Structure 1
């Protein structure tokens, strides 16, 4: 029997006090009613001055280690689109601050699909025999790349981090990743982008405008693509696992927008009540959204040990992915 990657612990972190819709409405031409109606979001959390993605990643990672009973990872995989610096990667510092100074550590950049890509990377390290325990973290601080005057993005994104410990185990062990499906479409990369700061812009030797340093997103096109891609990926993962849609106890989707969550469930023929929703309190936290949603759902009983879970995400790149597993008896911290 091949070595399987098994979720053995989970931790989460969000910064500071909640930023409510009413607080945002004070500086943007919007209202709590408009935001909730369009997105399902009532609050989100943003880092304060001097804070960075690594701070949230370290806190979530430390809690995941505690949740796993103190397992020390042999490798750290950090999924993020908002690293502390363009260079170097953020994962080595996170590992060092967690007391893991010499382990393999690297970043994964797949935007909102990053956590699932990170799970695939971690599972690969375990399957290859390179590691027995791998920490996979999804952490983003999109507040640092939001245009403060853009209502379309300014009300949606929040900051946060979620981490899991993957342990080597058997394929039949609860928590084992059963199927992974990943995909991309670089032809549509311009739908979600930060134009400035990379080699494309820097090689022109022209100064970037302030607007070009902020996130740009084509909302309608992203909504349409996300529903189609996530539904297709979910069907693939379900098929690989040998399940039917009726077998799925909980859908845990990327927490982008309540309309997207509901449309994906509808496309699959899954009752909307089976979709885990966490965006109401934290907004779209990009790579952190799935582990944050898992941690909340496992804490409040929405997800219980033995539940058959279908995880799915869509993000810039374009990228998407899905995974299946049976939820283990772990206590989120």
Structure 2
């Protein structure tokens, strides 16, 4: 059993900027040859990302956070604000994005901190952390987990060797142990520190090792959360991965034996890889399309450079 079992995702709100940029434009900006862009598009499944250099980071985060609080019934009982980002730094060292976000939302003395140590898997880790903190609070206490960042260097906008182009997107999730929502039925994470120097992934051999390790690790965390929930892959309605390479997820799906029609990759060509926000953006998209049936199960899976590998099992509540 996961320590997060029973935690409710009361409401998740997703936001992406309106400005759409073709992957070919970003490739040209960073000096990729046309054949390299073609690989990104045809093999890895990328077409465009949302990227607005004129949109401040705080505005990117406030947009979903305010709506999530509104949809979840307001700010009453809010004990924590957790800001999640995959990149180690998203602002100058003297700036606390979490505190600025709290002030922008008018959340007074709500406790704030940031989570980033598991790279793109940090979003799922933050949900578990929020749940553990809320155990010590009064009944009805809630936390707001906000997730999003902007690509601000060539290195964190395009990972050509592993098929990633980073786009902008953000999510905000209100969580609580009480009331309605989508209920956590399993959470698992594994780490492999041998890939801590992610720059080595630009070399062919370490990159191949990382892919092989990632497939194995994702399979293990998926197996763990299914065991926690007492389920099999056949019980899962939706397998919701992060928006990294289509080639990579095809290998994972093949290794796991997941039915391809249950794998949600619709947002990959639309948004690219949105750092740690992918899985929850995809979850919210499925919900907004009316595809998450009450009582059904979804499994979120996400690898993070460094490397961390996480999976989260959800049982859907009534809408």
Same fold (TM over 0.5): yes
Gaps of 5+ in 1: 194-214
Aligned 8 A contact 2:162 2:245 in 1: no
Moved more, 125-134 or 61-70: 125-134
Asked if the contact 2:130–2:143 (Cα under 8 Å) also holds between the matched residues in 1, the reply is yes
What's the offset of the Cα at 1:324? Answer: 0.9
Structure 1 CA distance, aligned partners of 2:52 and 2:80? 26
| Worse-matched range after superposition: 70-79 or 274-283 | 70-79
User: Which of 306, 313, 316 is the equivalent residue of 2:302?
Assistant: 313
Instruction: Evaluate the alpha carbon distance shift between residue 240 and residue 191 of structure 1 in structure 2; reply closer, same or farther with a 3 A threshold.
Output: same
CA distance in 1, matches of 2:287, 2:172: 14
Q: Is the 8 A contact 2:5 2:183 kept in 1?
A: no
Alignment CA distance shift 1:303-1:97 (3 Å): same
SS of 1:169's partner is coil
Q: Is the contact between residue 49 and residue 166 of structure 2 (CA under 8 Å) also seen in structure 1? A: yes
**Cα distance in structure 2, aligned partners of 1:149 and 1:239:** 36
Confirm whether residue 120 of structure 1 aligns to residue 137 of structure 2.
no
Moved more, 276-285 or 66-75: 66-75
Give 1:79 deviation, angstroms: 1.2
Query: Aligned equivalents of 1:58 and 1:151: distance in 2?
Result: 30
1:269-308 maps to which residues of 2 (within 5 A)? 269-277=257-265, 278-308=267-297
Maintained 8 Å contact 1:169/1:176: no
Cα distance, 1:149–1:8 mapped onto 2, change above 3 Å: closer
Superposed displacement of residue 223, structure 1: 2.5
Greater Cα offset, 122-131 or 233-242: 122-131
Per-residue CA deviations over 1:276-316 (Å, capped at 9, x if unaligned) read 11211111111111111111111123433332011111102
Deviation at 1:113, TM superposition (A): 0.3
Instruction: Please tell me whether residue 252 in structure 1 is matched to residue 240 in structure 2.
Output: yes
Q: Is 1:45 aligned to residue 50 of structure 2?
A: yes
Is the CA contact 2:239–2:263 (under 8 Å) kept in the aligned structure 1? yes
Alignment of 1:168-247 (within 5 A): 168-169=177-178, 175-191=182-198, 219-247=207-235
Provide closer, same or farther for how the CA distance between residues 154 and 99 of structure 1 changes in structure 2, counting only shifts above 3 A: farther
Relative to structure 1, is the Cα distance of residues 249 and 44 closer, same or farther in structure 2, using a 3 angstrom cutoff? same
| Cα RMSD (Å) | 2.7
Which of residues 12, 28, 33 in structure 2 aligns to 1:29? 33
1:134 corresponds in structure 2 to 143
Contact 1:7 1:175 in 2 (8 A): yes
Paired with 2:218 and 2:80, the residues of 1 have a C-alpha distance of: 28
Q: CA deviation at 1:98?
A: 1.1
Structure 2: give runs of 5+ residues left out of the alignment: none
Deviations 1:11-50 (A, max 9, x none): 1122241111343354431366432222111110123146
> What do residues 63-90 of structure 1 show as CA deviations (whole Å, max 9, x unaligned)?
2112223244321111102422334442
